[in-house]
Structure 1
């Protein structure tokens, strides 16, 4: 069972939407801190970081207030997952949200039942859980896992990954070279946070993280109709 002793910060400038979100999450047993503007939320973060942030993009007079909030969160040593809720659904906005480390970008109006389900799945992945096996070891030379920190290292250098991307990459590490990591395995590894049609986007981000360390990296390959594998061509 998911431990609901988590703190979730919600940043939403519409009072009614903020109240609805806060009520829905409190009813699920979460600790909730609600804010109507970016600056108040950031002051709170400087005192105590939440386990998850849920934020609108437009906050009052700040057209990109949610994006600025995500940039602020990147300044902390501990990665804080972000879910964006927004009526802005352009490809550029969605890309920007994910580029800033958002783990999900959901359209408004949002179904509260869908949101709470996603929150539970996300925290099941990112929160401290007895299900994590500390003895899990990578079968791929040069790729190391730090399971408790949700971090991975390539050639002893840290990879810039979200918690979701870490979980996906871990499937390659535990499968080893040449073994196929199926689409279903990748989706199941994230407890449904990643949908089938967005898997390739996450794989592209994982490849990009490796290329920041090794520009010649080319070890993750598509296996048509099945998934992906790790090998040298």
Structure 2
């Protein structure tokens, strides 16, 4: 099920979006937060709790120009893969809105003044995103490694391996995003539903990465695809043709 989060300071717009999206997007859970000048950490905690596939931000909220863009930038620092869009009634008034939205990584900006058209476009955008997700293969072959996501099994050189749930989540996330660097915080946040505690998540991830590497070495002492990126985190980097 896809989860969509709406962050908006006008309950009327929240109700409109809830009604339209619930009718047009099947198998979805639409959540909303009425913006009342809560601090950034409040919204960050909500994103962590709900793990939305898409966030819809209003641009100007609580009488603060571009509060939604600033909030999106803050959340994006902690969730770099977050997919989000903006809603605004100022699209044709403020020419910088599109540039500002692009700078923080928004997929697009929708116009409240052309709601009937843009809500249909938004619906299609979400459906297309769903279709992309549904086409993701269940088995990834990255020789000599094979991951079966349905069976939650991993083979190295066609030898079955045993991993804990968290080790599986960490390894599969790295291999699905080959050569992309993830911080310890990001890996911990992705692989567990637990609250991230300072001074705890780093040791936890280091321990799990070591366990994964040790299990690889028992089968192939030269197979070390998880690389440490100094002062940043880890990435999956292995080329079987080398």
CA deviations 1:59-117 (Å, max 9, x no partner) are 12222211122112223245111111112223321111011010111222323222211
Matched, 1:115 2:113: no
Indicate the residue corresponding to 2:15 in structure 1.
19
In the other structure, the counterpart of 1:32 is 30
Residue aligning to 1:165: none
Which residue number in structure 2 is paired with residue 67 of structure 1? Answer: 69
Report the CA distance between 1:130 and its aligned residue. 3.5
Q: How does 1:35-50 map to 2 (within 5 A)?
A: 35-37=33-35, 39=38, 41-50=43-52
Q: In structure 1, what is the Cα distance between the partners aligned to 2:104 and 2:121? A: 23
Q: CA deviation at 1:9?
A: 0.3
Q: Which runs of 4+ in 1 moved over 6 A?
A: 146-150
DSSP 3-state at the match of 2:31: strand
Distance 1:147 1:133 in 2: 13
In structure 1, the gaps of 5 or more residues are 138-145, 159-233
Q: Which residue is 2:58 aligned to?
A: 56
120 and 94 in structure 1: CA distance in 2 versus 1, 3 angstrom threshold: same
Q: 1:98 aligns with which of 97, 102, 106?
A: 102
**What pairs up with 1:1-233 in 2 under 5 angstroms?**
5-27=1-23, 28-29=25-26, 30-37=28-35, 39=38, 41-77=43-79, 79-89=81-91, 90-109=94-113, 110-111=115-116, 112-125=119-132, 127=133, 129-130=135-136, 134=140, 151=177, 153=179
Counterpart secondary structure, 2:32 = strand
The question of whether the paired residues in 1 share the 8 Å contact of 2:57 and 2:72 is answered with no
CA RMSD across the alignment: 3.1
Structure 1 distance, partners of 2:72, 2:64, is 13
**Cα contact 1:134–1:147 (8 A) shared by 2:** no
The separation in 2 between residues aligned to 1:79 and 1:94, in whole angstroms, is: 20
Segments of 5+ residues of structure 2 without an aligned counterpart are 144-171, 182-242
Relative to the length of structure 2, the TM-score reads 0.50
CA contact (8 A) 1:7 1:33 kept: yes
Larger Rg: 2
| Compared CA separation, residues 31 and 69, structure 1 to 2 (3 A) | same
How far off its partner does 1:52 sit? 0.5
